[in-house]
Homo-oligomer: A and B are copies of this chain.
Amino acid sequence: MRIGELSGQTGVKVVTIRFYETQGLLPPPRRTASGQREYTPADVARLRFLRHAGELGFPLSGVRELLGLADAPGTDCDAVHAVAARHLEEVDSRIRRLQAMRRVLKRAVSACEARVVARCPVVETLSDHAYCGEEHALTSRR
């Protein structure tokens, strides 16, 4: 099948498929005489794996590891588990950081709606250095 068909079957955009190829996540397929890529059902499976991993937020480096492990004869479940567990921790940490942001933000936005104060609570929150007390919850972002 050609790249458009592969894209349709997997839900991965054509440009992204080519991008995955440059990143070594998808093996370079055979080409027709005119240079067009020709894929097999095995590529569909691999690309679906890629997509699912992407949807679960694995970074491409992690996906690469997972693919390597899944490809190896007799999957090393421990190694796979380690990659996934590490990513789960990362997701947890991102959630915690976002929730900390959310609390501060929600408080300011709500105060704004309540209209009980003279000065804009959002601007105050951002301007006030005392707010830095919240800083502990809002550790380095990313």
Please give the residue numbers on chain A whose beta carbons come within 8 Å of chain B beta carbons, in ascending order: 45, 48-49, 52-57, 66, 69-70, 75, 77, 80-81, 83-85, 87-88, 91-92, 94-95, 98-99, 101-102, 104-106, 108-109, 112-113, 119-120, 122-123, 125-129, 131-132, 135, 138, 141
Ordered by A's residue number, 28 sampled pairs between the chains whose C-beta atoms are within 8 Å are A48-B127, A49-B126, A52-B131, A52-B132, A53-B126, A54-B141, A55-B101, A55-B135, A55-B138, A56-B101, A56-B104, A57-B101, A66-B122, A66-B126, A69-B123, A75-B123, A77-B122, A80-B112, A80-B122, A84-B108, A85-B109, A87-B105, A88-B105, A91-B101, A91-B102, A92-B102, A95-B98, A95-B99
A106 & B88 in contact (Cβ 8 Å cutoff) = yes
B98 & A84 in contact (Cβ 8 Å cutoff) = no
Tell me which residues across on chain B come within 8 A of A83, comparing CB atoms: 122
Name the residue of chain B whose CB is nearest to the CB of A57: B101
B84 & A109 in contact (Cβ 8 Å cutoff) = yes
Tell me which residues across on chain B come within 8 A of A85, comparing CB atoms: 109
Counted per complex, copies of this chain come to 2
Q: By CB atoms of chain B within 10 A, which of A56, A77, A123, A138 has the most? A: A56
